[in-house]
Amino acid sequence: MVPTPITVRVPAKVNLHLAVGDPRPDGYHELITVFQAVSMTDEVTVLVADEPGIDVHGEGADSVPTGPSNLAWKAVRLLAERSERDPEEPGVRLSISKGIPVAGGMAGGSADAAAALLALNHLWRLELGRDELCDIAAQLGSDVPFALQGGTALGTGRGERLVPVLARHTFHWVIALDRRGLETPTVFGELDRLREESKPNRVGEVEPLLEALASGDPRQLALLLGNDLQAAAVSLRPGLRRTLRAGVQAGALAGIVSGSGPTCAFLCTDADSAVRVAAELSGAGVCRTVRVAQGPVPGARIVSDDRAD
């Protein structure tokens, strides 16, 4: 019997704190970061097919590769190899429905890879536990384990070593999407260049932010949001300065570039305020489109399955 297709929903992330160390000998930067999963999601469906491949639909689908460089496809191949299937002909098709902006600093590709791992674990009945899946996820990319885990977490190393963080209450965000993406390596390169040229401010210690999350007070949290990559993203895309200003003028408590940008995330007092800020920001004409989101939300999870368990 052909197994029923399995669909996994997976969230985007924002980095509430992103401290970037100096480049390591392997070229990666040592990071201390706090991720929060927010309610902007992709859906990835895996199905058994004679003709393997990928279809992509939705937000920015045109700029997502449908060949071997798609991170979700790399996940398929890695898991096929691990489970002694032919990685060249894994016999599955992926259908990706994008709600997470592409190259937006919200880890959309990583999210799809995490979703593909979880979906295939069920489709192929591999019965790998969360820890094993997280190990495989870390081989695919620094942000992939967090997309599996979701919630709020402290990440160290390249961001792949995770510890869950207590975040009381739900936080309300307005997310401003830019017209074009920014490539993550370019933004890290720009930060290295800025640091050679001058000494841009670095974010402080992470502990006060962890306390603010535990208290659940958005006003306290707003004062502590920080991202070392922001200066680099703004240097490459100066218009972001205007977007960040417009969000605060519209009533947000604070705004921050998400990860490597160019998406900006604005923390709001409550759900009503987020709706008002989103409406005003969208009228200001400083970004392509605006979304309202909440966090934390769970990581990758199956939303359809043949066993309905």
- Enumerate the active-site residues: 13, 143
* CB 272, min distance to ligand ATP, A: 29
Residue pair 207/19 in contact (Cβ under 8 Å)? The answer is: no
Which residues carry a binding-site annotation for ATP?
Answer: 101-111
Minimum distance from residue 116 beta carbon to ligand ATP (Å): 9
Tell me, rounded to whole angstroms, the distance of Cα 224 from its chain centroid. Answer: 20
Report the residue number, 44 or 253, with the smaller CB distance to ligand ATP. 44
- Least CB distance from residue 181 to ligand ATP, whole Å? 6
Q: Which of 178, 191, 290 is nearest to 233 (CA)?
A: 191
SS3 readout for 35-72: EEEEEEEEEEEEEECCCCEEEEEECCHHHCCCCCCCHH
Residue 11 to residue 295: CA distance in whole angstroms: 10
Known binding-site residues equal 101-111
Q: Tokens representing 137?
A: 């996820």
Nearer to ligand ATP, 40 or 253 (CB): 40
Give the binding site for ligand ATP (CB under 6 A): 63-65, 69-72, 96, 102-110, 112, 143, 184, 259-260
What is the nearest approach in angstroms of ligand ATP to the Cβ of residue 68?
10
- DSSP E strand stretches across the chain: 6-23, 29-48, 53-58, 92-98, 152-156, 161-164, 171-177, 226-227, 254-257, 264-268, 289-295, 301-304
Cα 222 from chain centroid (whole Å): 20
Q: Choose among 82, 129, 91, 134: nearest CA to 110.
A: 134
